[in-house]
């Protein structure tokens, strides 16, 4: 099965034209609101099945004694957030870098916008 590596921004698109690792172009048409996760198998417009790979991206890992407050402020900015036990992860953002955290490379698992 072919694999399609996509960053989070593109894994939220319901209409998408992208290139497989082989260089071949594929088109996807998914239900509106669908967020593709790493490991999902989707069917292309021409009927082929493709496995989605969540691309590693630069993220900010945020830890705080006040995560709810941090999440509230991120929500006001409409920032996609990955919520974990004791941490939040967001796409690297030079404006938000002042939060207590560090940069890392990992496949984001964000599924909603707060």
Which band of pLDDT confidence, cut at 50, 70 and 90, is reported for residue 111? Answer: low
Alpha-carbon gap, residue 3 to 92, rounded angstroms: 25
| Structural domains in the chain plus CATH codes | 2-54 (2.60.260.20), 57-106 (3.30.70.790)
- Contacts of residue 102, defined as CB under 8 A and 6 or more positions apart, other chains included, come to 60, 61
Structure tokens at 26: 């594929």
Residue 86, pLDDT > 70, answer yes
Residue 101, pLDDT > 80, answer no
In this structure, the dihedral spanned by the alpha carbons of residues 46, 39, 112 and 106, taken in order and rounded to 10 degrees, is -120
Of 37, 13, 60, the C-alpha closest to 111 is 37
Cβ pair 18, 25 in contact under 8 A: yes
């Amino acid at each position: 099965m072919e694999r399609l590596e996509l960053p989070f921004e593109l894994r939220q698109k319901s209409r998408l034209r992208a290139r497989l690792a082989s260089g071949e172009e594929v088109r996807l048409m998914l239900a509106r609101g669908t967020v593709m996760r790493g490991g999902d198998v989707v069917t292309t417009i021409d009927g082929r099945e493709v496995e989605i790979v969540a691309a590693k991206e630069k993220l900010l890992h945020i830890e705080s004694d006040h995560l709810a407050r941090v999440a509230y402020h991120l929500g006001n900015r409409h920032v996609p957030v990955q919520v974990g036990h004791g941490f939040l992860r967001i796409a690297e953002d030079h404006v938000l870098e002042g939060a207590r955290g560090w940069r890392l490379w990992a496949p984001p698992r964000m599924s909603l916008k707060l």
